[in-house]
A and B are shown apart, each in its own frame.
Chain A
Amino acid sequence: MKNNQINRFHSTAFWTGADTGITDVDARTYPGTAPAENDLDQKQGLALKVKNLQITMDGKENNPPLVNNVNLNLTPGRPLSLIGESGCGKSLIAQAIFHLLPAQLFAQGEIYYGNKNLLACSQTTMHGLWGREIFLFPQEPGTALNPLRRSCSQVTEIFRWVRNGTIRIGNNGGSFSLPPDCGNLWKKYFKQVGLSISDGRKYPWQLSGGMNQRLLTVMAMAEPARLIVADEPTKGLDPDTRDLTIDLLGQMVDFGKSLFVITHDVDVPRQLGGDLAVMYGGMVMESGPAAHILDAPAHPYTRALLRALPQNGLHPIPLRVNGNRFQGGCPFSPRCAEALSFCFHVEPAETMVSDKVSQEVSVEEKNEFHERIIPLHQRKQFPAHGGESARIIRCHQCC
């Protein structure tokens, strides 16, 4: 009898959850603590609103802000993508949402998740939200995964965490026991991302970078979290796997989860749709529906970024001249081929909305937009600097 149990414990059928003999035991061990499989999918997302977010070094006002008055609006069922170059502060925003900023950085402003201001939450409250409500899809899968644990074990750990200890990790030769629903869940998710069951036996260092990335996707999907913040989810993936990952992210949105994607890859917002914010030098340069911005970018930085794509001729943006920070004016002005004189003196409007977008917004939003944008007559005081191609964002009500 004992030998039979041991053999079954080490068998593939038991390991993959197909052995039904032990499931009754597990069901008795964990009565009714695990939510039904469908509950995970049916949990709806909540809105995320970032208002006047400012991140500074040491919290001193003299230090130039790393993130300067950023406003973002994420609605459930409509993904929000944030693109921009390295060092512009994209990942800092994600870290601020999760209270994971380095100790020397301080965030000011408001980040509302539903009705809750996350910046005002205590660390204990945030620990309760991590995984169960908000999930971070980290940038480096190689460093995010535990090299000493098999990939399947790490996925089930997520279940254990979010379901208060439903899964018991065994210590007998790396095997573990799974309640029937969880055993089916991880197998289902592995298949969805193109991983085989045998990949579940491997350690992260035995998987390629793309496979590790897919393993993280499984974790994001298996979570019951309503808000998913994905930091570079397609980094280093081949085109097929990248498309698959984007499809999976899109499925999460279809389930009603809120999705916030930080990426360098322009194809991600193009395929995901939803909204797009373009960031440079700690500020949002342009925001609006992704399709409109990518088809008709209004800000010179967005245009320069799109021109740097291989399919658009691989035209590089001029390199930085004086480090990262700027002294007043538009942060992109030192590198901008279309800069006017005023660009070097006047800080740009908080958010420049694409022309097409501004026609779609409500009257109230237009009024708010009108108050924020610099009046055109003020701009005309400065002579043109960057040539005739310079383009000015106009307010549709007065200009």
Chain B
Amino acid sequence: MEEKVPESSDATNVVRAEAVDLNWPGGLFCEPVAVLQQVNLSLYPGEMVGLSGPSGVGKSTLGDILLGLLPPTRGRVYWGESRIYRKKASRQNHPLNTLRRYYQKIFQDPASSFPPGQTTGESLREVIRYHGLEDSIQENLGAVALNPDMLKRYPCELSGGEMQRMALARVMLLKPRFIVADEPTSRLDLSVQAHIIRLIAEVARSSGCAVLLISHDRALIETVCSRCVNLSF
């Protein structure tokens, strides 16, 4: 049975988490751990929200839950008005299938987010082929200030900053509504960090997609984000 969206919530939000709990089960040497407890979070189109907190507090885990990659122990997560993680839902109309392409992630390590055996161009064209989209690679490369020659290179032939921009271009092909940027600049140096963050902010502003920026750097979040969410143990 499909549950209705609560009337009090804003229907225009892109993603919404309500009273989300997540527990890691115990193991041989590990006791069960309550990672997230009663987390409520909503993101609206075009806004950039920062998510900070100490190591191991569950920042990336919350990002994965919002992206439909990890079911929470309790609580509800909505993409727009569609509730994901429903137990009883038809496979064909499940929001995790129909809306998946609009909810994307930029990974911490750009090197491991591309297949090493494919050129970057092949990786980008695969996305277009899979989703049946129009070829907008050139436009998106221009938006992230990359030369089209980069498409002929393998991931190992690009620098960290170039690869992270390529990852952003790949995400933009799908015209996303929500991006989780999981420490996108922690492995990049200062000058490249400024470029990447400004690019992500520009994408959020121009395309109207919501961005959840996960970072340890409070100064960075305060500089570019409109809101900041702090997780603590």
Contact = CB atoms under 8 A, between A and B. Distances in A.
Interface of A: 84-87, 198, 201-202, 206, 208-211, 235-242, 264, 266, 304-305, 308-311, 313-317, 319
B219 A86 contact: no
A241 B223 contact: no
13 contacts: A208-B56, A211-B55, A235-B186, A237-B216, A238-B54, A264-B189, A311-B223, A314-B194, A314-B220, A314-B224, A316-B191, A316-B198, A317-B191
Interface in B140-174: 145, 159-161
B74 interface: no
Contacts, number: 83
A208 B108 CA distance: 14
CB-CB nearest 5 A-B residue pairs:
A210-B55, A316-B194, A317-B191, A85-B189, A310-B219
Contacts of A198: 29
Given A310-B217, A311-B223, A314-B197, A304 B191 contact: yes
Interface of B: 29-30, 53-56, 108, 145, 159-161, 183, 186-195, 197-198, 216-220, 222-224
B146 to A, nearest CB: 10
A311 B219 contact: yes
B191 A239 contact: no
B32 to A, nearest CB: 14
A220 to B, nearest CB: 19
A264 B190 contact: yes
Given A211-B55, A308-B191, A316-B195, A206 B186 contact: no
Contacts of A241: 54-55
A308 B192 CA distance: 9
A86 B54 contact: no
Nearest to A203: B29
B190 A236 contact: no
A21 to B, nearest CB: 24
Contacts of A202: 29-30
B193 A236 contact: no
Contacts of A310: 217, 219-220, 222-224
Contacts of A211: 55-56
Contact of A238 (B55, B195, B197, B220): B55
A264 B216 CA distance: 15
A180 B200 CA distance: 54
